[in-house]
């Protein structure tokens, strides 16, 4: 119950991601404009004189972590806290109607800790874009020190909340704009986009600095993403993929959206993602990272460490080879019976004897155009038995009359491009009945 | 305004009425510090009317203001009559060969360098001014109160004539809708525009734009007007001075 509550609530105000055009996630934080605490509030208050972008950015991140909506009074409280703790450099808020005096990153980091009790915070400088991307991938929005309108020429030192990033744009929520991350009250765009080069220049002019704030939680994040042939999928928009996740306290989430969906505030422990359906057309689920391949049962179990992000990646492969085979063995009077994969072949022998069954993958396995099948991996009841297209296996019968033994056969083929097929499965039943035998 | 360390010819004209004015009795004086004697620069010459002119070349070694006064001798008066004091501001020149412009900025501004290619900060404090929601780190020489004029030049392609509305919607899609009235002005002899963005941090301050020879030039004013007691009067004067002394390199 606790987990499902967190899930539904986060979809309301928290770190529920939506993908931009390139398929990366955009986090979200609850918005409040930095002059909300002035007469008129948002959006028509004293925008022309407010310098509260720093404390308001911290407030937005803090309230995202605290699952609450920011209110104007919190901006005042942040200003009061700054004055109480940095009185020599931060002016008296009462003296200028709580318009703020400007803040540096050290003050903002202290504010996050002292006012909002978020102790896992650091004022940074000299960071790289990769470090920002890692923060975002872990589900942490970042307070970045840039310029108003993301333009150095504004000469207006400014803080925004970085929500997402792809190869073309960054996506921010901006307390210095009347609608923050959107362009109007009805705009549902997830984050205001600026070209990444423009952001990089504005960020670099302030020493690539900002404030990294992580939530106070013993648990961590579980993130699900998807990829097709090694690239992010989908390339645009969002696509539903059905899967389930179970953790130490039970089910976490049902059907989800990919490429990225983040579930926060989860306790550490073992989590299992099981894929159900969906994915790119003309493809198959090949792996679920971080688990090893080959994928057999469409699930992956991994451990979430406290405060970390456990990333499951549904790896889909297109242009796959197809595995298939035939199974041939003797049945009375005797006659040779052949069955295809996906069905059951029943063969007969005396109690305690062995039945010879020939498996042939050469006629039913296919490579895609321009490729050929180069690898054969046969397994019987989970044990590798052969790496050739065709082979004959002796399968034992039970020594007890009337009892049958069932064998599960799996073939996975690999093509000359290195692509691996989905497993083809078949069943062989070795019967030892003497008097009456049903030929299937 | 003239530029420091640059020999600059200046023509001064003065209107002097009165038939008792003694010919060759008009002097142009340069005033010095309080208590010091003024220096006679030269004698403005009349042209038959009441206008007396003189051209002189200043080559100042420091920024500031040259204070000038005209004195005239009249028949029947023992003491020379002096005009009101007028000043010639000595500013600094910023000549960007790459961005193809020159501007003379007043002594109330200091060139901070280029935070990005084609962007020039002119701040009211020699250590720079932090404006907006940021604040300098402890120990920084940057001021927390003041103003700045930023000049930026960026390549810009136009088909036909420059369209300010198109420029705004292309470059500031989020702010363009909030731009206030756009005023036509002249910048460097070219048609330019002045406007203010609204409803955003940094808004409410003038921005001037002019297109010339494949570049768009922006001149942005910014100030710490969130600080109680701060007045924009001096800063806006500096901004307008920069606008008036902005020229394009040929």
> Are the C-beta atoms of A17 and A166 separated by less than 8 Å?
no
Return mean pLDDT, chain A: 85
pLDDT at A268: 79
Instruction: Return the pLDDT at A308.
Output: 76
Q: Is the pLDDT of residue A435 over 60?
A: no
- Cα separation, A48 vs A61, in Å, equals 24
Q: Does B130 touch chain A (CB under 8 A)?
A: yes
Burial of B160 (0-12, 13-18, 19+ CB in 10 A): exposed
Q: B176 at the A interface (CB within 8 A)? A: no
Looking at the partner chain, which of B131, B172, B203 has a beta carbon nearest the beta carbon of A47?
A: B203
What tens digit of pLDDT does each residue of A303-362 get?
888 777 788 888 888 878 889 999 999 876 678 899 999 999 998 888 888 999 999 999
Residue with the bigger pLDDT between A409 and B139: it is A409
A193 touches B at CB < 8 Å: no
A47 has a chain B CB within 8 A of its CB: yes
**In degrees rounded to 5, what are phi and psi of residue B103?**
-140, 140
What distance, in Å, lies between the first and last C-alpha atoms of chain B?
21
| Position B69 pLDDT exceeds 50 | yes
Q: Give me chain B's average pLDDT, please.
A: 93
B132: chain A residues, CB-CB within 8 Å: 51, 53, 102, 147-148, 154-158
Quick one: which of A406, A389, A387, A386 has its CA closest to A398? A406
Unique residue bearing structure tokens 């609608």: A179
- Strands (E) located in A183-334: 192-195, 210-213, 220-228, 231-232, 239-247, 250-253, 256-258, 261-266, 269-278, 283-289, 299-304, 309-318, 326-331
pLDDT score at A247: 86
Q: What is the largest CA-CA distance in chain A?
A: 104
CA dihedral A313, A426, A390, A440 (to 10 degrees): -170
pLDDT band at A3 (very low <50, low <70, confident <90, very high): very low
Helices A105-114 and A72-85, axial angle in degrees (round to 10): 110
**Which chain A residue's Cα is nearest to B145?**
A101
Please give the pLDDT value at position A282. Answer: 67
pLDDT at A16: 42
Residue numbers of A between 139 and 158 with CB closer than 8 Å to B: 145, 147-149, 152-158
Which of B144, B201, B218, B221 should we substitute to test contact with A (largest number of A Cβ atoms within 10 Å)? Answer: B201
CA A218 to chain CA mean position, Å: 20
CA distance A139 to chain B (A): 25
Cβ within 8 Å, pair B227-A145: no
Residues 6+ apart with CB under 8 A from A31: A60, A70, A173, A175, A179, A180, A181
B150–A contact, CB cutoff 8 A: yes
Partner B contacted by A353 (CB < 8 A): no
Of B116, B135, B174, the CB nearest to A102: B135
pLDDT of A2 > 50? The answer is no
Confidence check on the interface: ipTM exceeds 0.85, yes or no: yes
Q: How confident is the model at residue A296 (pLDDT cuts 50, 70, 90)?
A: low
Task: Please report how many Cα atoms fall inside a 13 Å half-sphere around the Cα of residue A205, on the Cβ side.
Answer: 29
Provide the token pair at B129: 């001014």
At residue A1, the pLDDT reads 24
Interval A155-211: pLDDT, tens = 999 999 999 999 899 999 999 998 887 777 777 777 889 999 999 999 999 999 999
B171 pLDDT tier (thresholds 50, 70, 90): confident
Nearest CA in chain B to A153: B150
Q: At residue B142, does pLDDT exceed 50? A: yes
Q: Give the DSSP letter string of B121-187.
A: EEESSTT-B--BSB-PPTT---BSS-EEEEEEEEE---SSS--HHHHHHHH-TTTGGG----EEEEE
pLDDT above 50 (res A19): no
Residue-level pLDDT at A148: 95
A152, B132: Cβ pair inside 8 Å? no
Residue numbers of A between 402 and 421 with CB closer than 8 Å to B: none
Chain B residues near residue A152 by CB distance under 8 angstroms: 115-116, 119, 150, 152
A34 touches chain B (CB under 8 A): yes
Rounded average pLDDT over A287-297: 74
- Rg of chain B on CA atoms, in Å: 22
Are the CB atoms for B132 and A53 separated by under 8 Å?
yes
| Residue B199 touches chain A, beta carbons under 8 Å | yes
Sign of CA dihedral A78, A83, A88, A93: positive
A191 shares contact with chain B (CB less than 8 Å): no
Q: Which residue has the tokens 């009841």?
A: A381
pLDDT at position A350, please? 84
Residues 210-239 of chain B with CB under 8 A from chain A are: 218, 220, 222, 224-228
Relative to beta strand A239-247, strand B207-212 is: unpaired
Question: Which residue in the block uniquely carries the two structure tokens 């100042």?
Answer: B60
pTM (2 d.p.):
0.66
């Amino acid at each position: 119950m606790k987990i499902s509550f967190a899930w539904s609530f986060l979809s309301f105000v928290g770190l529920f991601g939506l993908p931009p055009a390139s398929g990366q996630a955009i986090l979200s934080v609850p918005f409040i404009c930095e002059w909300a605490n002035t007469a008129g509030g948002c959006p028509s208050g004293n925008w022309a004189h407010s310098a509260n972008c720093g404390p308001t950015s911290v407030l937005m991140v803090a309230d995202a972590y605290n699952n609450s909506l920011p209110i104007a009074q919190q901006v005042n409280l942040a200003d009061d806290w700054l004055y109480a703790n940095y009185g020599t450099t931060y002016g008296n808020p009462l003296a200028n109607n709580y318009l703020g005096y400007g803040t540096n990153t050290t003050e903002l980091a202290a504010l996050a800790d002292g006012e909002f009790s978020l102790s896992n915070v650091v004022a940074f400088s000299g960071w790289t874009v990769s470090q920002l991307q890692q923060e975002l991938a872990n589900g942490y929005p970042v307070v970045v020190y840039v310029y108003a309108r993301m333009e150095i020429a504004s000469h207006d030192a400014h803080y925004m909340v970085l929500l997402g990033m792809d190869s073309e744009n960054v996506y921010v929520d901006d307390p210095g704009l009347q609608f923050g991350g959107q362009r109007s009250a009805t705009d549902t765009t997830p984050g205001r986009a600026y070209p990444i080069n423009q952001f990089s220049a504005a960020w670099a002019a302030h020493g690539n600095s900002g404030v990294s704030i992580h939530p106070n939680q013993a648990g961590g994040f579980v993130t699900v993403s998807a990829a097709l042939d090694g690239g992010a999928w989908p390339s645009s928009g969002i696509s539903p993929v059905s899967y389930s996740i179970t953790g130490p306290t039970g089910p976490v989430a049902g059907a989800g959206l990919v490429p990225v969906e983040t579930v926060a505030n989860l306790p550490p422990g073992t989590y299992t993602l099981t894929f159900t359906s969906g994915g790119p057309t003309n493809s198959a689920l090949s792996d679920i990272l971080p688990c090893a391949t080959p994928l057999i049962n469409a699930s992956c179990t991994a451990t979430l460490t406290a405060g970390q992000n456990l990333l499951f990646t549904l790896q889909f492969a297109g242009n796959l080879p197809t595995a298939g085979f035939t199974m041939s063995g003797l049945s009375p009077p005797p006659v040779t019976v052949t069955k295809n994969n996906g069905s059951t072949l029943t063969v007969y022998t005396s109690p305690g004897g062995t039945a010879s069954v020939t498996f042939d993958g050469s006629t039913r396995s296919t490579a895609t155009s321009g490729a050929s099948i180069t690898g054969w991996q046969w397994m019987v009841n989970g044990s590798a038995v052969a790496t050739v297209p065709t082979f004959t296996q002796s399968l034992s019968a039970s020594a007890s009359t009337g009892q049958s033994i069932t064998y599960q056969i799996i073939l996975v083929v690999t093509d000359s491009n290195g692509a691996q097929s989905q497993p083809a499965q078949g069943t062989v039943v070795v019967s030892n009945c003497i008097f009456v035998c049903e030929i299937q | 305004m003239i530029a420091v360390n640059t020999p600059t010819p200046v023509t001064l004209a003065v209107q002097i009425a009165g038939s008792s004015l003694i010919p060759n009795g008009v002097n142009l004086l340069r005033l010095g510090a309080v208590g010091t004697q003024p220096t006679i620069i030269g004698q403005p010459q009349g042209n038959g009317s009441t206008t007396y002119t003189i051209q002189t070349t200043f080559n100042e070694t420091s920024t500031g203001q040259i204070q000038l006064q005209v004195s005239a001798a009249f028949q029947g008066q023992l003491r020379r009559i002096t005009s009101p004091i007028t000043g010639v501001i000595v500013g600094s020149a910023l000549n960007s060969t790459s961005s193809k412009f020159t501007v003379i900025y007043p002594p109330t501004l200091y060139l901070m360098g280029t935070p990005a290619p084609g962007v020039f900060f002119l701040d009211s404090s020699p250590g720079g001014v932090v404006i907006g929601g940021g604040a300098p780190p402890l120990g920084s020489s940057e001021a927390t109160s003041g103003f700045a004029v930023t000049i930026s030049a960026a390549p810009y392609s136009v088909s036909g004539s420059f369209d300010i509305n198109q420029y705004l919607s292309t470059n500031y899609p989020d702010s363009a809708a909030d731009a206030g009235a756009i005023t036509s002005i002249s910048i460097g002899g070219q048609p330019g525009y002045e406007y203010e963005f609204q409803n955003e941090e940094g808004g409410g301050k003038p921005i001037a734009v002019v297109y010339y020879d494949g570049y768009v030039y922006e001149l942005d004013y910014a100030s710490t007007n969130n600080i109680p007691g701060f007045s924009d009067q001096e800063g806006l004067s500096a901004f307008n001075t920069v606008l008036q002394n902005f020229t394009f390199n040929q």
